[in-house]
């Protein structure tokens, strides 16, 4: 793999730096991180398939990548939603929430990302149970999908509850239908499925006598905590995926520190998946709001607003 960096002076104060990453394949030179597909999923969520053959070759469900849109860009962690080892592509699904995801959203098919590092983190520990229930909240349904797909391939019977604010925010319905035996929905406004929370559906399924060996919940911290509040007293094993602020993604900065079972863990190298019974969710929620003021900052340099 080779990186080329080009630097142009825009004026006496501003430089433009362009980094291009290539691999040599026989006599051919191929540029990496091309966006081979881009699709809008709803008004806030988009899907991208990126040519990243080294990541595609090794990644497993539960792992993530860190990308930078341009050479001076922020590093943003995103879960690997799918991969095609033959084509060398990795699929990501992201919600446009702030500065960097907005920059990412400006990129189109045929354009390139500056870098795309991965696979990072531990693969999810998927066990060959009889029956598993997945619970995905909002864009959390995206990281849940590869785990349920893999469980289905392992011969596990899989059900799923997908939650969102309204019908528009229910994502990947067709993909889940392909891998799940039963699919349930919960929306805050009742536009699809049960009017209420994913935990209302979970309580109903348990009341009806459904037995699950494990629940995998991925979504906002408050949702994962609420799921654990239901499953822990019933001793239904529950896996959750944590997404604290990550900077290097390799265990060096300590930014992604979480407390699990009374021990300090780094979500980027020890996770991001953990035993939900052991996670200190209150601490996670406190730490996630540390940088709220900075995130709300309006960038005066190029006029891109955060809100």
Return residues touching ligand FES (CB under 6 A). Answer: 246-249, 251-256, 266, 268
Binding letters toward ligand FAD, positions 58-87, x by CB under 6 A: ------x---------x-xxxx--------
- The most distant pair of C-alpha atoms in the chain lies apart, rounded to whole Å, by 71
Question: Residue 134 CB, nearest distance to ligand FAD (Å)?
Answer: 15
Rounded distance between C-alpha atoms, residue 257 and residue 266, angstroms: 5
Residue showing the smallest CB distance to ligand FES in the complex: 268
Stretch that binds ligand FAD, among 17-25, 139-147, 208-216, 226-234 (CB under 6 A): 139-147
Site size toward ligand FAD (CB under 6 A) is 24
Out of 23, 36, 245, 269, the residue judged to bind ligand FAD by CB under 6 A: 245
Query: Please, is 295 exposed, middle or buried when counting C-beta atoms within 10 Å of its C-beta (0-12, 13-18, 19+)?
Result: middle
Question: Residue 279 CB, nearest distance to ligand FAD (Å)?
Answer: 14
Binding site partner of 254, from ligand FAD, ligand FES, none, Cβ cut-off 5-8 A by kind:
ligand FES
Question: Residue 130 CB, nearest distance to ligand FAD (Å)?
Answer: 28
Q: Which neighbouring-strand residues pair with 41? A: none
Q: Which neighbouring-strand residues pair with 240? A: 217, 274
The DSSP symbol for 168 reads G
Rounded distance between C-alpha atoms, residue 102 and residue 118, angstroms: 21
Rounded distance between C-alpha atoms, residue 210 and residue 39, angstroms: 36
Rounded distance between C-alpha atoms, residue 77 and residue 229, angstroms: 28
Structure tokens at 136: 């995905």
DSSP string, 269-304: HH-SEEEGGGB-HHHHHHHHTTTHHHHTPPPTTT--
Q: Is 100 in the site for ligand FAD (CB under 6 A)?
A: yes
Q: Is 143 in the site for ligand FAD (CB under 6 A)?
A: yes
Out of 230, 272, 274, 287, the residue judged to bind ligand FAD by CB under 6 A: 272
Q: Which neighbouring-strand residues pair with 5? A: 19
Stretch that binds ligand FAD, among 9-17, 90-98, 172-180, 205-213 (CB under 6 A): 90-98
54-93: burial string, b at 16+ Cβ within 10 Å, e else: bbbeebbbbbbbbbbbbeebeebbbbbbbbeeeebbbbbb
Q: Is 139 in the site for ligand FAD (CB under 6 A)?
A: yes
Binding site partner of 295, from ligand FAD, ligand FES, none, Cβ cut-off 5-8 A by kind:
ligand FAD
Interface residue list for ligand FAD (CB under 6 A):
64, 74, 76-79, 93-95, 97-101, 139, 142-143, 243, 245-246, 272, 288, 295, 306
């Amino acid at each position: 793999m080779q990186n080329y960096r080009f630097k142009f002076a825009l004026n006496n104060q501003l430089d433009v730096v362009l980094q291009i990453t290539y691999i040599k394949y026989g006599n051919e030179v191929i540029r990496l991180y091309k966006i081979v597909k881009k699709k809008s999923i709803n008004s806030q969520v988009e899907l991208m398939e990126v040519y990243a053959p080294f990541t595609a070759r090794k990644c497993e469900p539960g792992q993530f990548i860190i990308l930078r849109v341009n050479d001076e860009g922020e590093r943003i962690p995103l879960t690997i939603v799918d991969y095609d080892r033959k084509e060398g592509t990795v699929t990501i699904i992201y919600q446009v929430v702030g500065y960097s995801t907005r920059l990412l959203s400006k990129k189109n098919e045929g354009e390139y990302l500056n870098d795309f590092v991965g696979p990072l983190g531990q693969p999810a520990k998927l066990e060959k149970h009889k029956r598993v229930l997945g619970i995905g909240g909002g864009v959390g349904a995206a990281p849940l999908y590869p785990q349920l797909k893999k469980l289905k391939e392992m011969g596990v019977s899989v059900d799923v509850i997908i939650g969102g604010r309204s019908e528009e925010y229910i994502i990947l319905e067709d993909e889940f239908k392909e891998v799940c035996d039963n699919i349930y929905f919960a929306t805050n406004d009742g536009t699809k499925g049960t009017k209420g929370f994913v935990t209302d559906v979970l309580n109903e399924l348990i009341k009806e006598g459904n037995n699950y060996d494990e629940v995998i919940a991925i979504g906002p911290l408050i949702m994962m905590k609420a799921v654990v509040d239901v499953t822990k007293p019933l001793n239904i094993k529950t896996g959750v995926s944590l997404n604290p602020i990550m900077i290097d993604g390799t265990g060096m900065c300590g930014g992604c520190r979480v407390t699990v079972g009374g021990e300090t863990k780094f979500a980027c190298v020890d996770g991001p998946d953990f035993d939900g019974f052991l996670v200190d969710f209150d601490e996670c929620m406190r730490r996630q709001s540390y940088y709220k003021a900075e995130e709300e900052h309006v960038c005066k340099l190029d006029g891109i607003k955060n809100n």
